[in-house]
């Protein structure tokens, strides 16, 4: 009975991994994961998740910097307009 619960958890983890690989990377995971142990799959998915989160943070930082620069330019333009230095 205990092993049935454990098997369900492992099965759900494998399905979640396959869906993530397919949805995020358009990757055929069924043929790839077929010969992989659960430990290898777990380490592989952890590495992918870490890299994906790292890329999202870098993208968010770049967007924030870009928005800040655009805001400064807009303030400059407004000040130039108000002082008549167009």
More confident residue, 34 or 44: 44
What is the per-residue DSSP string for 5-33? HHHHHHHHHHHHHHHHHHHHH---HHHHH
pLDDT tier for residue 5 given thresholds of 50, 70 and 90: confident
CB contact set of 42 (below 8 Å; sequence gap of 6+): 13
Is the pLDDT at 6 greater than 80, yes or no?
Answer: no
| pTM for this prediction | 0.54
Domain boundaries, the chain: 2-60
d(CA 18, CA 12): 10
CA 85 to chain centre: 45
CB contact set of 13 (below 8 Å; sequence gap of 6+): 38, 41, 42
């Amino acid at each position: 009975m205990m092993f049935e619960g454990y098997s369900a958890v492992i099965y759900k983890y494998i399905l979640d991994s396959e869906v993530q690989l397919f949805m995020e990377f358009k990757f055929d995971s069924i043929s790839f994961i077929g010969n992989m142990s659960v430990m290898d799959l777990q380490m592989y998915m952890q590495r992918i998740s870490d890299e994906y989160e790292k890329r999202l943070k870098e993208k968010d930082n770049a967007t924030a910097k870009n928005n800040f620069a655009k805001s400064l330019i807009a303030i400059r333009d407004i000040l130039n307009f108000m002082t008549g230095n167009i």
